[in-house]
Amino acid sequence: MASVQMPRLSDSMETGKILRWLKKEGEEVKKGEPLVEIESDKANIEVEAYASGKLSKIVVPEGESAPIGAVIAEIGDGTSAPAAEKTPARQGQADAAAPKQAAQPAVEPKQGAQPAAADAPKPQATKPEAHVAQADKAVAATAQAAADAGGEQYPHGGPDDRTEVGAAGQAALNVIRRPAEQENGERQRVSPVARRLAEEHGVDLRRVQGSGPGGRITKEDVEAAAQQKTQPQAAAAPTREAHQPTARPTGEVEVVELSKLQTTVAMRLAQSAFSAPHFYVTSEIAMDDAVRLRQMFNEAVDKAEAISLNDLVVKAVALALTKFPEVNASWADGRIERKRDINIGIAVGLPDRLIVPVLRNADQKSLKDIAKESKQLIERARSNKASAQDYLGNTFSISNLGMYDVDQFTAIINPPDSGILAIGAIEDKPVVKDGQIVPGKRMRVTLSVDHRVFYGVTAAQFLQEVKRLLQSPMALVL
């Protein structure tokens, strides 16, 4: 069964008048055959059947009018073809209403325009305004019915009938769902408000897992992190990464491809470990004065100029190197190259890579400048904005795992250096001073040495100098 509806024959048409039925009730009609002649506000038009079958019922007789979309006839072939498929208008809402339409044609309870059909004015006299008045009435009736139906804006179905997103909304969605850009080292996505709140609450964004689209860290993520926050007492913390749990492999083996950077690091470290004969010298340093000095220093300067213990170590190492050119040297194909400049590499561990930005001429810089510059270097390295220059020219390196509560460890020399100093945590422990046991702050450092470049005694003496400087730290601020 298919219902024939009053078609829209012009832009301004509101109702149409049936001039002539070209088929009689009970007559067979073929899809595409002329079925009815309708008068719109602009012209008389023959309208074709949209379905084949028997014209089972003429709902609107000749001479009468009906608004657009109203059922004017029924075509039935005995089978039950869904009305909505065959009719040109109202696909949006027809499905549910179709059986009712068939049962009681011409009265479609839910359709906005329908009441107008019941009240459709009879053809009027030939006054010139007649047509106008009729159209007006139809508009008013449509409006009224539309309003009664809850302010329905499209009596004949429109964008609001859609339950799926349309072309209109898709463009907005494409922006929101755009996948995170592939960048080397994966830049962390942080929303502006999250960044601001993190700063306000002192939340370390590197420790926050993003829950937003594309893994973006959102306001809620930072607020949750701020609530849980327990500020750990980091000994010296230019680099501290929280452990990001890695997903367990689902298969027996998961293959992890290396980034270009990781490949380079692997190659160079293997080369260093297997070609440079390493030996190690460890020493424990009393850090009480250095810790106190740092406190006093930081109380005296702006927060932005605060120094870390690592900065003190950098300065101490740099000053010690001025007295030990044999340490500030490289193995170069059977010869030793001693360097004029003292450039300290600072190892920064990130979850997926190891990088060593270089602080140049560290011996000539004040603590304040060392602090400032290393902060900038590390930040650039982290955010992947470092230039190649930032990684070049190291003559000696430092690796610090103190903030991870490591007592001591040995590091692999970072080529072309011939030494690297591995820094452990500062521990509060009982120490003997003037025959008394007193609390003290102790830090263990381990020097790795390329035995081809310098030897045990030099290594021990160099370490003694570093120790002297850190235990009498006033020398570092001069």
Partner 1 sequence: MAVLAMRDALNQALREEMKRDESVFLLGEDIGLYDGSFKVTRGLMKEFGEKRVLDTPIAEEIIIGTAIGAAMSGLRPVAEMMTVNFIMVAMDQVVNAAAHIRYMFGGGTKVPLVIRTPGGGGHQLGAQHSHSHENWFAHVPGLKVVAPGTPADAKGMLKSAIRDDNPVMFIENEGTYAVKGEVPDGDHLVALDKNEVKRAGEHITICAHSRMLIVAMDAATELEKEGISAEVVDMRALRPLDMAPVIESVKKTSRLITVEEGWRSYGVGSEIASRVYEEAFDYLDAPVARIGAAEVPAPYNKRLEKIAFPGKADVIVTARALLGKN
Q: Which residues bind partner 1 (CB under 8 A)?
A: 8, 11-12, 88-89, 91-92, 129, 132, 136, 139-140, 142-144, 146-147, 151-154, 156-173, 175-177, 191-196, 211-213, 216, 218-219
Angle between helices 288-300 and 456-471 (to 10 degrees): 50
Are 3 and 123 in contact by the 8 Å Cβ rule? The answer is no
Of 161 and 428, nearer to partner 1 (C-beta) is 161
Of 172 and 332, nearer to partner 1 (C-beta) is 172
Catalytic site includes residue 201: no
Q: How far is the CB of 333 from partner 1 (least distance, A)?
A: 55
d(CA 2, CA 9): 20
DSSP state of 310: H
Q: How far is the CB of 208 from partner 1 (least distance, A)?
A: 13
* 3-class DSSP assignment, residue 71: strand
Of 128 and 435, nearer to partner 1 (C-beta) is 128
Identified catalytic residue from 131, 243, 278, 451: 451
CA neighbours closer than 13 Å in the CB half-sphere of residue 201: 22
Residue with tokens 């829209």: 8
Are 396 and 321 in contact by the 8 Å Cβ rule? The answer is yes
Of 62 and 136, nearer to partner 1 (C-beta) is 136
Are 271 and 415 in contact by the 8 Å Cβ rule? The answer is yes
Of 97 and 286, nearer to partner 1 (C-beta) is 97
Does the N-terminal peptide bond of residue 416 adopt cis geometry, omega within 30 degrees of 0?
yes
Are 220 and 246 in contact by the 8 Å Cβ rule? The answer is no
Residue with tokens 């009596």: 155
Q: How far is the CB of 143 from partner 1 (least distance, A)?
A: 4
Structure tokens at 330: 């490289």
| Phi/psi-derived region of residue 202, left when phi > 0, alpha when psi is between -120 and 50, beta in every other case | left
Structure tokens at 278: 């390493």
Of 139 and 286, nearer to partner 1 (C-beta) is 139
Of 11 and 299, nearer to partner 1 (C-beta) is 11
Q: How far is the CB of 194 from partner 1 (least distance, A)?
A: 7
Are 81 and 28 in contact by the 8 Å Cβ rule? The answer is no
Q: How far is the CB of 176 from partner 1 (least distance, A)?
A: 5
Q: How far is the CB of 65 from partner 1 (least distance, A)?
A: 19
Q: How far is the CB of 53 from partner 1 (least distance, A)?
A: 24
CA neighbours closer than 13 Å in the CB half-sphere of residue 368: 9
- The closest alpha carbon to 323, from 337, 342, 310, belongs to 342
**Which positions are catalytic?**
451
